[in-house]
Amino acid sequence: MHLERLTGVLGARLVDVDLRSLDEARVQELRAAICAHEVLVVPGQDLSPGDQTDFSHLMGPYSPVPFVQPVDGHPEVIRVVKEATESEAFNFGGVWHSDFSFLPAPPAFTVLHAIEVPDVGGDTVWASMTAAHDALDDATRERLDTVTAIHSASASYSPAQQGLHSQLSGMDIRTSDDALETERHPLLCTHPETGRRSLYFNGTYVRALEGPGFESEEGPNGEAAMMSWLHDWTTHIRFTFRHRWSAGDVVIWDNRSTQHVALNDYGGQRREMTRTTVAGSAPAA
């Protein structure tokens, strides 16, 4: 398997592979490469929604997608699309997040396939939460190890957000009160396949912190200050990899150890992706 690293932190490119014809040994190599490099770019693919579903199944069972309606006839595939006429619209995935971290068992992997890309702009950026963890000083790591993060989709998919989602004519996103549910995950997690630790935080779905010292939201060490610090730390540019898309790219990333953001800088141009997600397990300390 010919892998090329794309930064000194995370991201690798795999060439000369057709994701429609992988044998079991190749699938295992691919999976190990994604876990090791956290984001894997596989250019030059031509996957129909059915092919993308089949490929995702090689990585593991389907992870159900809440709130976003799937592509007709392909219940496991969603289309991420913004029309050229929707310059002012919100960008799906346009704030730092880890996919569906508010679920009891968030997806392990996401597979995103570029169907149509803007001439300029529309890149995606990932941050390694493993690197963010490893760069912590000992005292901070010990403190964070006692913290539980409360995840919820309330700021993204509760009915108050319906107007935002309805700006995207090519996506059918149905908000609901289910978004108000919360899920508790340790802030420092151990990756179930690599054993590496990471800082499992994202400012979109982590809505509160529990642990010693967070009795008050206020003050320089309170919950609000810590949430803001965690966001700045985990998305610092030194932990990131930015991908400039070409049509046909497939990017597969590990949600357990990364966050990502889709940049909304391609006004007047169309961008279309198809996305599948692969089941994961409950994050564990």
Applying CB under 6 A, the residues found at the interface with ligand SIN are 80, 92-93, 110, 112, 124, 260, 262, 273, 275
Angle at 19 between CA 171 and CA 43, to 5 degrees: 75
Q: What is the dihedral of CA 77, 127, 108, 56, to 10 degrees?
A: 40
- With b for 16 or more beta-carbon neighbours within 10 A and e for fewer, the 76-96 pattern comes to bbbbbbbeeebeebbbbbebb
CB of 100 to ligand SIN, least distance (A): 10
Longest dimension (CA), the chain: 56
Pick between residue 13 and residue 197 the one whose CB is nearest to ligand SIN: 13
Whether residue 132 contacts residue 188, with contact meaning beta carbons closer than 8 Å, is answered with no
**Residue 110 vs 175, nearer CB to ligand SIN:** 110
Which are the contacts of 116, defined by CB distance < 8 A and separation ≥ 6?
A: 247, 270, 271, 272
- Minimum CB distance to ligand SIN, residue 114 (Å): 9
Q: Please give the DSSP secondary-structure letter assigned to residue 127.
A: E
CB of 81 to ligand SIN, least distance (A): 9
Tell me the closest approach of the beta carbon of residue 189 to ligand SIN, in angstroms.
Answer: 20
Least distance between ligand SIN and beta carbon 125 (Å): 9
Nearer to ligand SIN, 222 or 248 (CB): 248
CA 171, CA 12: separation in Å to the nearest integer? Answer: 30
Entry field: residues in the chain: 285
Beta carbon nearer to ligand SIN, 124 or 198:
124
Q: Find the residue with minimal CB distance to ligand SIN.
A: 93
Tell me the C-alpha distance between 85 and 160, whole Å: 24
CB atoms within 10 A of CB 163: 10
Least separation, in Å, of the C-beta of 208 and ligand SIN? Answer: 22
Q: Which is nearer to ligand SIN, 122 or 283 (CB)?
A: 122
Kindly tell me which of 11 and 147 has the beta carbon lying closer to ligand SIN.
Answer: 11
